[in-house]
Amino acid sequence: MLLRRLLLACTGLAALAAPAAAQPALQRVLRVAPHADLRTLDPVVASITITRIHGLMVYEALFAWDSKLTPHPQMADRHEVSADGLTHTISLRDGLRFHDGRPVNARDVVASLNRWMARDTIGGKLREYLASLDVVDDRTIALKLTKPLGMVPFALGSAVGAIPVIMREEDARTDPYTPITTAMGSGPFRFNRGEWRPGARVVYDRNPDYVPRGEPADGLAGGRQVKVDRVEWQIMPDPQTAAAALQTGEIDIWEQPSQDLLPLLSRGRDIRVERYTSLSSQVMLRPNHLHPPFNDPRARLALAYATDQSDFLAAGFGDERFWRRCNAYFVCGTVNGTEAGTEGYVTPNLDTARRLLSESGYRGEPLVLTTSYDIAPIGRMAEVAAERLKRAGFNIDLQVADWGTVTTRQQNRNPPSQGGYNLFVTYSSGATMQSPLTNIGTNMGCERAWAGWPCDAEAERLRNAVVEAANEPARLTAVEALHRRLSGVQPYRVLGQFDQPYARRTSISGVLDAPVMLYWNIEKR
C-alpha cells in the first residue's frame, strides 16, 4: 500500500512538473487567432500581410512610421543630409544585436537595402535615383542620390509591401526572388522555430536582449516595449471556432473577425470590437498582365465595366456600415484620393464590357481565378467575381486552395496551364494603397512590379513626376494625371474599401494604431 501511494505521489508530481517545465506558470502568454497562416518567413519576398506582421516582430528597419505615417529613426541613431540634398549619412544606434548575438553592422544594412530595393515598389523607386550605397564604417552608411528626394526616411521606414528590414549580411545576399528560410533578426521578438507547426501554431518569444528606443510608442515608431513573454498564433480558419475561443478566453485577440459575427461579439461583456487603424483597406481584382487576355488593356478595362463594387463588398463585409464604394486607386478620404478618369465605369455596363473583351481578341478560353476560403471575405468575393464576369463573357475557372498555396501561386509567372493564373481577389491596407510611392498595385514597372507584373512606361513616367514634384500643389496635379492614366490601363480593378476591426478580451490593452496588428506595447492583465 505504501509503495502504491509513493508511486501515485510521484506520478502526480511528474504531471504537475511537466507543464511547468514546458511553460513557466508565471509566463505571460498572449494568444491570438491571426487572419491567416504563416507559410513564408521572408518579408522581402512576400508582401502579404501575415508575413509582414511576422517580419515586424522579428526584424527592424532604419526608420519607422508613426500612426500618421510620418517616419522617425528606429535602428538609425543619426541621419544627416548634405547641403545639396544628394547624400544621406545614417548611423546605427547602440545596442543592436541579431538574435544569434552578433552586433548589427553597416554591411548588414547595405546588403539588406540592396535586396529590398530589388523587390519593393517604393524601394524600386528609390533605386531609380540611387547613385551609390556604401559602408562608411561599421556603424555608418552613405546613400547618394542623383536628384534630391524628400522620400528617403519615408521609404526606409516603409511598413507596407516588401518591408526594408535589416537582416544578417549572409541572409541578405540571398537572391531577391528566393525566399530565405531563416528568421534571424534584431527585433523585439524571437521566432520559435522549434514550436512552429504550419497550419496549427506559430510562436514568438520576447527577446530579452532587445534594447527599445526611449520614446513613447506611436504606430511603428518609438519604443517597442514587449510586455508579454510569449505570443502564440493559434491558426483558426473557421470563424465559429475563433469566435468561441475568444468568448471562452482560449484566445485573447482575434485579428480579423468575420463581419457576420461582429454583432454577437459586440454583445460580449468581456469582449471589445475596435479598429486598429484609421485608414480604410482597399479591395482589388488583380489580373495577370503576362498572359492573354489581360496583356491587353481592353480586357482589363472590361473588368471595370463588368463589375459593381457593391456586389463584392456586400458579399465580403456584410453591413454597409463597414464599407464604401470608391474608385480611387489611392484611397478615398486621403489627400491622394482622386477618382479622376473613372467616371465611365461608376455604373456597370455589360455591353461595353463585352465589346472591349471581344476587341482584345478573347475567344472564351478558360481563365483561372485562384482563391481561398481561409480568409473568408476573399473567398466570398472571388465567388462573386466568377459569377459576375461570366455574365460579361469571361469563361471563369474558379480554383480554391489554402491561402498559403494561393499566395505562392501568385508569384508563378507561368501560363495558367502550367501552374500560373489569370486573376485573384485580395485586399491591402490603406497605408499601403494611399500613396503612389507605396501602392503595390499601381507599380507598372514590368519585372519590378508586384504579382500580375503590369507594364506601362507612361504610368511610370507619371509616377516619377509625383516623386519629383517641387511642392504640394504640383504633386497633387501629378497624382491626378497619374490616376487618369491608371484608370485607362487598369493595373487592377478597384473594388472599393472597407474597415476591418479586430476583437480583444477586455483583459488586453495597448494595441497601437498602425498599418498592421503590432504585438509590442500590448499588456495582458
Question: How many other CB atoms are there within 10 angstroms of residue 13's CB atom?
Answer: 10
pLDDT at 8 over 80: no
Residue 209's pLDDT is what? 96
pLDDT at 256 over 70: yes
pLDDT at 93 over 90: yes
| Band of pLDDT at residue 26, cut at 50, 70 and 90 | low
DSSP type of residue 217: P
Residues 32-71: pLDDT tens digits? 999 999 999 999 998 888 999 999 999 999 999 999 899 9
How far is residue 37 from each of residues 52, 197, 200, 240, 402, measured CA to CA in Å?
A: 12, 10, 8, 17, 9
5 grid coordinates: 501511494
159 close to 220: Cβ distance less than 8 angstroms: yes
251 close to 223: Cβ distance less than 8 angstroms: no
452 close to 499: Cβ distance less than 8 angstroms: no
Residue 47's pLDDT is what? 83
382 close to 373: Cβ distance less than 8 angstroms: no
Residue 376's pLDDT is what? 87
User: What is the rounded distance in angstroms from the CA atom of residue 431 to the CA atom of residue 67?
Assistant: 10
pLDDT at 454 over 70: yes
Residues 201-230: pLDDT tens digits? 999 999 999 999 999 999 999 999 999 999
User: What is the rounded distance in angstroms from the CA atom of residue 200 to the CA atom of residue 470?
Assistant: 51
Residue 278's pLDDT is what? 80
What are the residues facing 324 on neighbouring strands? 497
- Average pLDDT, integer, range 121-148: 95
pLDDT at 523 over 70: yes
Residues 309-350: pLDDT tens digits? 999 999 998 888 889 999 999 999 999 999 999 999 999 999
Residues 404-438: pLDDT tens digits? 899 999 999 999 999 999 999 999 989 889 999 88
C-alpha closest to that of 172 among 114, 228, 230, 95: 114
pTM of the model: 0.78
pLDDT at 4 over 60: no
Instruction: Quickly tell me which residue has 517545465 as its cell.
Output: 21
Q: How far is CA 477 from the centre of its chain?
A: 28
Mean model confidence pLDDT for the chain: 92
Residues 238-250: pLDDT tens digits? 999 999 999 999 9
**Quick one: which H or E segment has residue 201?**
strand 201-206
What are the residues facing 205 on neighbouring strands? 190, 230
Question: How many other CB atoms are there within 10 angstroms of residue 419's CB atom?
Answer: 12
How far is residue 352 from each of residues 207, 325, 358, measured CA to CA in Å?
A: 57, 21, 10
44 close to 163: Cβ distance less than 8 angstroms: yes
